[in-house]
Structure 1
Amino acid sequence: MIRFILCVTYVVVFLILSIPLLIAEWIIGKFSPSAKDISSLRIIQAVFKGVLWISGVKVTVIGEENVPKDAPVLYIGNHRSFFDIPLTYPRCPIRTGYVAKKELEKVPLLSSWMKYLHCLFLDRTDIKQGLKTILTAIEKVKSGISICIFPEGTRNKNEKETDLLPFHEGSFKIATRAKCPIIPMAISGSVNLWEAHFPKIKPCHVVIEYGKPIYVDQLDKETQKHIGAYTQNILLEMLKKNEYLI
C-alpha cells in the first residue's frame, strides 16, 4: 500500500502546486503557443517518470526506432491499465494528445493539463459527439500533433492479455483522413502493476513494443476497409511474442 499512497500523494501534490505553472503556461501560450505546447509536454513527461519511479516498474521498450521523430502519427494501443498512459506518454517524441473518456474532463486541474496537452475527451454514449471528437483529432494530426487512442474503447479486463476486445473501426478515420501513419503500440504486463492486485501497487516488468508504421494508402483496398482488424492482428502478434518477457 505504501507505493499506492506515495503515487496518489505525489500526483495530488503536483496538481495543487501546479496552479502557478498552469497560469504561467497560459501566459506563455498567449505569446508563443508552440513554446507552451513543448514546455507542457516536458513537464508532464517528467511527472509521469516520477510516478513510474515511485511504482518501481521496469520497462523494456522494443522498436522505438519505428516512431517518426518529426511527423505526427496515430498510436493504436491495447488498454489494460490506468498506468498505460504514464508508461507511454514519456516516450512521445513530439506533441501528443490522448483520447480519454469524457468523465476525466470533470476532474479539476487534471483536465486543465490534459487540454494543454491536446488531449480529447470522448463521450462513448453519444455517437454525434464521438464523431465530433474524431474530427477534432483529425485536425490535430493535420496541425502536427500525434494522437494516441485505445480502440478497444475501454480497459480490457479479460484474464488473458491476448484476448483483445473488438477494435472500433471509427478510430482509424483519424489516420485515413489525416493521411498519417499508424503506429501499433503493444503494452504487455501493465495490469500487473496495479489492477491485478488492487489497491496495491507492486513493482513488475512491462514491455512496450512499437510496430512498423502502417501507411493506409499503401494497403490494398480490401485491407483498407478493415484497417482496424488488420492493425489488431499486428498488435496481437506482438503481444503473443512478448508474453514470455513479462
Structure 2
Amino acid sequence: MIRFILVCIVVIGYLILSIPILLVEWIIGKFSPMTKDISSLRIIQAVFRFILWITGAKVTVIGEENVPKDTPVLYIGNHRSYFDILLTYSRCPIRTGYIAKKEMEKIPLLSTWMKYLHCLFLDRKDIKQGLKTILTAVDKVKSGISICIFPEGTRNKNTDDLDMLPFHEGSFKIATKTKCPIIPIAINNSADIFEAHFPKIRPAKVVVEYGKPIYPDELDKETKKHLGEYTQGIIHQMLEKNKSLTQ
C-alpha cells in the first residue's frame, strides 16, 4: 500500500502545487505557443517517469527506433492499465495529444494540463460528438501534433494480454485522412502494476514494443478497409512474442 499512497501523494500534490506553473505556461503560450507546448510536454514526462520509478516497474522498451521524430504519427495501442498512459507518454519524442474519455474533462487541474498537452475528450455515447473529436484529431496531426488512441474504447479487463477487445475502425480515420504513419504499440503486463491486485501497487515486469510504421496508402484496398483489424493483428503478434519477457 505504501507505493499506492506515494503515487496518490505525488499526483494530488503535483496538481495542486503546479497551479503557478500552469499560469507561467499560459503566459509563455501567449508569446510562443511552441515553447509552451514543448515545456509542458517535458514537465509532464518528468512527472510520469518519477511516478513509474515509485511503482518499481521494470520496463523493457523494444523498437523505439521505429518512431519518427520529425513527423506526427498516430499511435495505436492495446489498453489494460491506467499506467499505459504513463508508460507511453513519457517516451513521446514530439508534441502528442491523447484521446481520453469525456469523463476526464470534469477533473479539475488534470483536465487543464491535458488541454495544454493537446489531449482530446471523446464522448463514447454520442456518435456525432465522437466524429467531431476524430476530426479535431485530424487537424492536430495536420498541424504537427501526434495523436495516441487506445481503440479498444475502454480499459480491457480480460485476464490475458492477448485477449483484446475489438478495435474501433473509426479511430483510424485520423491516419487515412492525414496520410500519417500508424505506430502500433504492444504493452505487455501493465495491469500487473496496479489493476491485477487493486489497490496495491507492486513492481512488475512490463514490455512496451513499438512496431514498424504502417502507411495506410501502401496497403491494398481490402486491408485498408479493415485497418483496425490489421493493426490489431500486428499488436497481437508482438504481445505474443514478448509474453515470455514478463515472466
- TM-score of the aligned structures, taking structure 2 as reference length: 0.99
Structure 1 residues 17-59: Cα deviation after superposition (integer angstroms, max 9, x where no partner)? 0000000000000000000000000000000011001111110
Aligned residue in 2 for 1:90: 90
1:37 maps to a residue whose letter is D
Within-5 A mapping of 1:198-237? 198-237=198-237
Q: What CA distance in whole angstroms lies between the structure 2 residues aligned with 1:59 and 1:42? A: 20
Rounded to whole Å, the distance in 1 between the matches of 2:195 and 2:90 is 21
Is residue 47 from structure 1 mapped to residue 47 from structure 2 by the alignment?
yes
Partner of 2:159: 159
Residue aligned with 2:236, SS: helix
Give the corresponding residue for 1:119.
119
How far does residue 160 in structure 1 lie from its aligned partner after superposition?
1.0
Distance in 1, matches of 2:117 and 2:103, equals 17
Instruction: Give the C-alpha shift of residue 185 in structure 1.
Output: 0.2
* 1:177 aligned counterpart, secondary structure: helix
SS of structure 1 residue aligned to 2:186: strand
Deviations 1:75-117 (A, max 9, x none): 0000000000011111000000000000000000000000000
| Normalised TM-score (structure 1) | 1.00
SS at match of 1:69: coil
Deviating beyond 2 angstroms after TM superposition, the runs of 4 or more aligned structure 1 residues are: none
Q: Does 1:15 align with 2:15?
A: yes
Counterpart secondary structure, 1:98: strand
The within-5 A match list for 1:129-140 is 129-140=129-140
1:79 aligns with 2:79: yes
Residue of structure 1 equivalent to 2:64: 64
Corresponding residue SS for 2:90: helix
The offset of 1:159, in angstroms, is 1.2
Sequence identity percentage: 76
Alpha-carbon distance between aligned partners in 1 of 2:153 and 2:233, rounded to the nearest angstrom: 17
Give the superposition deviation at 1:140.
0.2
Q: Which amino acid aligns with 1:141?
A: V
Letter in 1 for 2:170: G
SS in 2 for 1:91: coil
Q: Secondary structure at the match of 1:60?
A: strand
Aligned equivalent of 2:245: 245
1:191 aligns with 2:177: no
Deviations 1:135-156 (A, max 9, x none): 0000000000000000000000
Measured on the aligned residues, the alpha-carbon RMSD in Å equals 0.4
